[in-house]
Amino acid sequence: MLLSANRTTESETAPSETARSETSSAELAPADTPPYRYTAQLAEHIERTWQQHWESEGTFHAPNPVGELAAEPGSSAAKRAQGPKLFVQDMFPYPSGAGLHVGHPLGYIATDVYARFARMNGRNVLHTLGYDAFGLPAEQYAVQTGQHPAITTEHNIATMRSQLRALGLGHDSRRSIATTDPGYYRWTQWIFLQIFNSWYDEEQDKARPIDELVEQLRLGARLTPDGTPWEQLSAQQQRQIINDRRLAYLSEAPVNWCPGLGTVLSNEEVTADGRSERGNFPVFKRNLRQWMMRITAYADRLVDDLALLDWPESVTLMQRNWIGRSHGARVDFATVNETTAEGAAATPPISVFTTRPGTIFGCNSVVLAPEHLLVNTLLPPHWPDGTPPHWTGGADTPTDAVERYRAAAAAVSAVDRQATGRAKTGVFTGGFALNPVNGQRLPIFIADYVLMGYGSGAVMGVPGEDERDWEFSERFELPIIRTVQPPEGFDGEAYEGDGVMINSDFLNGLPWPQAKQAMIDWLSEHGHGAGTVTYKLRDWLFSRQRYWGEPFPIVYDDDDQPIALNDAQLPVLLPEVDEYSPVTYEPHDAATEPAPPLAKAADWVSVELDLGEGVKTYRRDVNVMPNWAGSCYYQLRYIDPANSDQLCDPVNERYWMGPEPLRHGADDPGGVDLYVGGVEHAVLHLLYARFWHKVLYDLGHVGSTEPYRRLFNQGYIQAPAYTDSRGTYVSASEVVEIDGGFSWQGQPVRREYGKMGKSLKNVVTPEQMCGEYGADTFRVYEMGMGPLEASRPWESRAVVGAHRFLQRLWRVVLDEQTGTPRITDAAANRLTGQLLHRTIEGVRADMVGLRFNTAIAKLIELTNHVTVTYPNAAPREVAEAMVLMVAPLAPHIAEELWQRLGHAESLTYAPFPQADPQLLIAETIEYPVQVNGKVRGRITVPADADEASVRAAALADEKVAGYVGASAPKKVIVIPGRIVTVVV
């Protein structure tokens, strides 16, 4: 039961009543603190009460159009469902055992403020938070604490939930999920099967069910790889062909093997210096049979659709660079081996990829990656006549040279290979290629600066326009011919800029871009190559040899070919094992083998199933999915968390995520309306999630083509940390500032800034802040300290500013002695009314733009004005508007004040104040008057004064006249409503 303002003393359950009884007791407040002052104790009480109220009322339950979460007809939720929807999402947190520090909730508070503001504007808002709880850290934490990860995970989630609840986040708790819940990972496995059971149709440029490919092959509408008619192939051959086309496939290929973690990793999880992003262990390339996801099939769409997204420029740029699309040409070079008895013998041609086919007349060599498959076919028995000694690497034969070079290249660690300024190395293979445009004989080398994984693993050396090739040419004394005219005065080596073609036969005189196209045309016409596109993006390595992850819904029969389970057989539960910690190795021991923990669950691995061929014994896949899997689609389960028949009902998905061309334009891809999180997920999570979403779109499961329409990267909270003379971190909370220096237990210490964490001994927790000031103060401080996207240092002592603001607001509305409203029904004076409505206008705009810091500043200004203007009783219209405007930021105190002002209903859905246009216009305007760029005077004129009268008033001003002097000014500029400038 909620109370009305006039009957405060009659209620027993109202938050306000208990508050008074507590705060008036002596041990809670010093003797001279008024009984109804807004203190931390009172704040905490109000906060607990309203959190309970919101929970019991289901205040933040967002109704779905259909299904279990649909609104009861006639309920308040049904009314809510009438409004336009808004889907707000935070990046999936991992429930850490270490607990939260004040940096963690920054984004959660921001989305909560935004969501609450939207509710007050009539939107039906979906906002919840789930937990991404599979993965290495959870497993490592469990190993550390000696408990099963399921137990520690559950415990950590419970802790985090209660920590976040204390902040008053308006989440729909019915929609919270955890990736580790079998009811959730069933759908992770289901999507995996969708991907596994699909292929990419290049013609239609979309994924299609694999059955449709089988059908096409069977009917001959599509040819098998070698043209053999489908029915002449054995069942096993047919399966192999099909499996090779799937979007999820097993591949025996060089992968990133990390002995220190005992698992393989994706490219995205390996840092530039060849180490694991997690744990910083060395990573080695090993040939292993692993699951891959054919994300490369989506490379073009993943690049192109970035243009449709409302994302930070930097993130789209990072994705673009990661996908690394470049347009160029494939050029085929015929090769010859000149040392056979017959003179010259043909060897297989070599394809190179180049983005500058126009420079081919300057080509002086062909260089292959050391691992290139054709290297061995090129090697003559002995060095060709005239081979310069420094091309041979000191070896007696080409075979010997290549072997030695390969061994040396393999011995170079990833770190050394990256070292800047590393000299180019390589050896001659003894083979020659023929330049297709002029028949010139070009030596073929191998060199480790050519990467097997990019393009075709072979390049043509064009030193005039490529620095690497220039270096290589100098090293091996190869001729250098420029084919693009460098600008006058250019004194560098390779010239990689634009220019006009020279030394290039029929291309001479063409500007560079036209020469490129002309050469592509020539190559295709003469059968020597074709225009082509290459990507840096590789397929996504999708299996891990760990315990704490989603098992694959895949089994094998005797053929060792993967077989999908049926949907009805999901979820495949993670088996209990005695030893769930993975087998890890000495981090530098590359010659080790992954040993998945699941392989040890013999009873689980071997399974009897009927998959359409009668009951047979199968072997389960013993890998688990990477921890990115669960976060690739979680917004879809937020939408329909209890749906056990479907991933999510298409009606619900289209309601929450479908394209809204009327609101967002004709190209709108749909997706979550606002997605807030750290920039560290710019490539990994956001790329994977876009990929999965597009597959689901192709297969007709979702109506949006992108998962996240608008992305916002929040900054980080840095924290000061202090080191003593030995460089050891000391407890930051015990450091005091003395005369501009810092001191800990009497000894001077040095300040630095870093991440908040145990190792820097500088953790500040939300609980500490709530205990000292209350959650509302904490929220206002975090939102007020700067722009959301900027990182900034935490300063505990500054939090009090936010607290004083809320105290003042409280005092504007209530009497600190009695707790009753001290407001008047009299109208606000003109000045206050204008300030109020300017504030409403400004706060609205700031809220929409996520500029909460300036919104708070405006609210403080208004509060300060009202405090001074109405020391005894503020006008109700002003006080109520202030309470409503502060509500998204400090919801508990706002609810409490709103109730004490006599409102029976929560203000969660009360209308956010609207500015009255009449009151936004002032009747007079003060203009600063500048003379030669300096403000020399001020004039006040009626708001509707025309330019001429403003000008006249400015020149008439005494001070201004003093600077202008007797002669007429050269120029007078009036910027309406802004400033007058006089030039003399």
Partner RNA sequence: GUCCGAGUGGCGAAAUGGCAGACGCGCCAGACUUAGGAUCUGGUGCCCUUAACGGGCGUGCGGGUUCAACUCCCGCCUCGGACACCA
Q: Which of residues 14-73 bind RNA (CB under 7 A)?
A: 30-33
d(CA 782, CA 801): 11
Report which of 647, 659, 665 is spatially closest to residue 706, judged by C-alpha positions: 659
Residues 399-418 that bind RNA (CB under 7 A): 417-418
- Shortest spacing between CB 976 and RNA, in angstroms: 10
Q: Which stretch binds RNA (CB under 7 A): 311-319, 474-482, 503-511, 875-883?
A: 311-319
Site map 128..167 versus RNA, x via CB under 7 A:
----------------------------------------
Amino acid symbol at 675: Y
* Whole-angstrom Cα Rg for the chain: 35
CA distances from 833 to 357, 782, 898 (A): 70, 29, 20
Minimum CB–partner distance for residue 386 and RNA (Å): 27
Side-chain-side CA neighbours of 797 within 13 Å: the count stands at 6
Pick the stretch among 19-27, 512-520, 861-869, 898-906 that binds RNA (CB under 7 A).
861-869
Stretch that binds RNA, among 193-201, 497-505, 885-893, 925-933 (CB under 7 A): 925-933
Gap between the Cα atoms of 134 and 354, Å rounded: 42
Contact call for residues 909 and 861 (beta carbons, < 8 A): no
Q: Whole-number minimum distance, CB 793 to RNA, in Å?
A: 6
What's the min distance (Å) between Cβ of 748 and RNA?
Answer: 17
Q: Which stretch binds RNA (CB under 7 A): 5-13, 436-444, 459-467, 911-919?
A: 459-467
Give Cβ neighbours of residue 514 (< 8 Å, ≥ 6 apart). none
Ranges within 781-820 binding RNA (CB under 7 A): 784-787, 790-793, 795, 797-798, 800-805, 807-808
Among the candidate windows 4-12, 507-515, 567-575, 927-935, which touches RNA by CB under 7 A?
Answer: 927-935
Choice between 595 and 800, CB closer to RNA: 800
Query: Using the rule CB under 7 A, which residue among 166, 369, 625, 732 binds RNA?
Result: 369
> What is the contact mask toward RNA in residues 424 to 453, using x (rule: CB under 7 A)?
x-----------------------xxxx-x
- Whose Cβ is closer to RNA: residue 278's or residue 808's? 808
Residue 94 DSSP label: P
Q: Which long-range contacts (CB under 8 A, 24 or more apart) does 838-847 make?
A: 838/915, 838/919, 838/920, 839/885, 840/881, 840/885, 840/913, 840/914, 840/915, 841/915, 841/920, 843/885, 844/912, 844/915, 847/113, 847/114, 847/117, 847/888
Least distance CB 256 / RNA (angstroms): 12
Beta-sheet pairing, 747-755 with 792-793? unpaired
CB of 721 to RNA, least distance (A): 15
For the CB of residue 426, give the shortest distance to RNA in the complex, in Å: 10
Q: Is 683 in the site for RNA (CB under 7 A)?
A: yes
908: buried, middle or exposed (CB in 10 Å: 19+, 13-18, 0-12)?
Answer: buried
* Residue 106 or 624 having the CB closest to RNA: 106
Task: Pick the binder of RNA from 18, 243, 824, 867 (CB under 7 A).
Answer: 867
Task: State which of residues 115, 210, 860, 894 lies at the interface with RNA (CB under 7 A).
Answer: 860
* Binding of residue 941 to RNA (CB under 7 A): no
Q: At what angle do helices 852-869 and 830-848 cross, to 10 degrees?
A: 160
Q: From residue 316 to residue 335, what is the string marking binding to RNA with x (rule CB under 7 A)?
A: -xx--xx-x-x-x-------
Interacting span for RNA (CB under 7 A) from 105-113, 155-163, 524-532, 933-941: 933-941
Q: Of 195 and 835, which CB lies nearer to RNA in the complex structure?
A: 835
- Count CA atoms within 13 Å of residue 384 on its CB side: 21
CB closer to RNA, 274 vs 902 = 274
Given the complex with RNA, which of 165 and 536 has the nearer CB atom?
Answer: 536
663 or 934: CB nearest RNA: 934
Q: How many residues bind RNA (CB under 7 A)?
A: 87
Question: Is residue 495 classed as helix, strand or coil in its secondary structure?
Answer: coil
Nearer to RNA by Cβ, of 642 and 790: the residue is: 790
Phi, psi (5° rounding) for residue 121? -105, 20
**Pairing, β 85-90 against β 124-128:** parallel
User: Is residue 834 part of the contact set for RNA (CB under 7 A)?
Assistant: no
CA dist 15 and 577 (Å) reads 50
Cα dihedral 510, 512, 517, 521 in deg (nearest 10): 50
Nearer to RNA, 223 or 798 (CB): 798
Q: Is 755 in the site for RNA (CB under 7 A)?
A: no
Among 61, 892, 936, 951, binds RNA (CB under 7 A): 936
Nearer to RNA, 395 or 935 (CB): 935
Q: Which stretch binds RNA (CB under 7 A): 208-216, 570-578, 654-662, 779-787?
A: 779-787
| Least distance CB 435 / RNA (angstroms) | 15
Site for RNA in 723-752 (CB under 7 A): none
**Residues 68 to 97: which contact RNA by CB under 7 A?**
none
DSSP reduced 3-state for 932: coil
- The single residue among 353, 552, 580, 675 that binds RNA, judged by CB under 7 A, is 353
C-alpha to C-alpha distance for 103 and 762, rounded to whole angstroms: 12
Which lies closer to RNA via its Cβ, residue 52 or residue 314? 314
Closest-CA residue to 739 (of 748, 752, 731, 728): 748
Cβ(170)–Cβ(779) below 8 Å:
no
Query: Which residues in 534-573 contact RNA (CB under 7 A)?
Result: 534, 536
Query: To 5 degrees, how large is the angle CA 472–CA 478–CA 484?
Result: 80
Given a contact cutoff of 8 angstroms between Cβ atoms, the answer to whether 690 and 711 are in contact is no
Instruction: Output the six-digit token pair for 969.
Output: 């000014």
DSSP, res 856 = H
How many whole angstroms separate alpha carbon 133 and alpha carbon 156?
9
For residue 5, state whether it binds RNA (rule: CB under 7 A).
no
Residue 523 in contact with RNA, rule: CB under 7 A = no
Among residues 354 and 364, whose Cβ is nearest to RNA?
A: 354
Q: How far is 442 from 446, CA to CA, in rounded Å?
A: 13
Nearest to 656 by CA among 78, 61, 86, 79: 86
Interface with RNA, residue 192, by CB under 7 A: no
Instruction: Answer positive or negative: Cα dihedral of 724, 727, 733, 736.
Output: positive
CB 465 → RNA: shortest distance, Å?
9
Q: Which residues, 246 to 305, sit near RNA by CB under 7 A?
A: 271-272
Bridge-based pairing state of the strands 717-723 and 248-258: unpaired
CB of residue 245 vs RNA: minimum separation in angstroms?
Answer: 25
Of the candidate residues 928, 941, 952, 961, the single one contacting RNA (CB under 7 A): 928
Q: Which amino acid is present at 439?
A: G
Q: CA dist 638 to 63, 204, 641, Å?
A: 12, 31, 5
For RNA, the closer of residues 243 and 743 by Cβ is 743
Within 837-856, the residues that bind RNA by CB under 7 A are 851, 853-854, 856
Residues 471-500 within binding reach of RNA (CB under 7 A)? none
Shortest distance, position 811 Cβ to RNA, whole Å: 7
Residue 426: C-alpha distances to residues 36, 461, 579 (Å) = 81, 13, 47
According to CB under 7 A, which one of 356, 637, 685, 690 is a site residue for RNA? 356
Question: For residues 395 and 391, what is the distance between their CA atoms, to the nearest angstrom?
Answer: 9
